[in-house]
Amino acid sequence: MEAKLNVAVFISGGGTNLQSLIDAASSPEFPARIALVISSSKKAYGITRAENAGIPALILRKKDFNSDSDLSSAILEALKEHSIDVICLAGYLKLVPKEIVRSYRNRILNIHPALLPKFGGKGMYGMRVHQAVLESGERVSGPTVHVVDEIYDNGEILAQREVPVIPGEDPESLQKRVLEQEHRVYPEVLKRICEEIQSGKR
C-alpha cells in the first residue's frame, strides 16, 4: 500500500464535516491521514474535535496579522511544516488566499451545502443557503464537492448528491438532511482525489 497523503482541514465552526473526514481517515485502507487542522476562529468546536483525535490544530485569524500576505505566509509555513499534500475546506468561511491556491492548484477541495452553481458565491454559507433554496421554491437541494480556485464556489465540480426538498420544511430540517449526505460524499471524494494523486493522474 502506498504511503498515506497528508491532509489539512480548514474550519471556522463546529466541524462536523471535519469529524466525518477524521472518522474515514481512521481506516487503514484510507489513502490519507488528517495531519493538521487550521481554524479561522478560536471558538470553533472543530478545534476540540482535532484535539480529541490527536491532530495538531492552529488558530490563524486575519486580525492577528498585520497584512493578508503575513497571514498567507503563516498558513503556507504551517502547511509546509506538516508536509501537507491536500487541503479540505470544511465550513471555512474565508476566501483562501491566492498564494495558497497557486501552491495547491487542483488539490484544495470544498464542500458546499447546495447544488452549485446555484446558491453559491460570497455570503452564501450555512443556514443562508438553505433559506435561499426554500425561498426559491426549488424541489431538490444537496451538497456539492468542488475544487477551490480564486473565486468563491467556482471551481470544478467533483460530486453532487441530490436531496429532495420536503414541502413545508424549514431551513433547519433541510440542513440536517443535506448534512447527512455531506458526511458521506466528502470522504468519498477525498479518497478518490488522493488515489488520483498517488497514481499521478492529478
Cell of 74: 503563516
Alpha carbon distance 113, 174 (integer Å): 10
Alpha carbon distance 197, 149 (integer Å): 18
Which of the residues 82, 112, 146, 183 is marked catalytic? 112
Angle at which helices 16-25 and 171-198 pack, to 10 degrees?
Answer: 40
Burial of 137 (0-12, 13-18, 19+ CB in 10 A): exposed
Alpha carbon distance 132, 139 (integer Å): 12
| Positions of E strands within the chain | 5-11, 32-39, 57-59, 86-90, 108-112, 140-141, 144-147, 157-160, 163-164
Cis peptide before 117 (omega within 30 of 0): yes
Asked if 130 is an active-site residue, the reply is: no
Alpha carbon distance 83, 77 (integer Å): 10
**Catalytic site positions:** 112
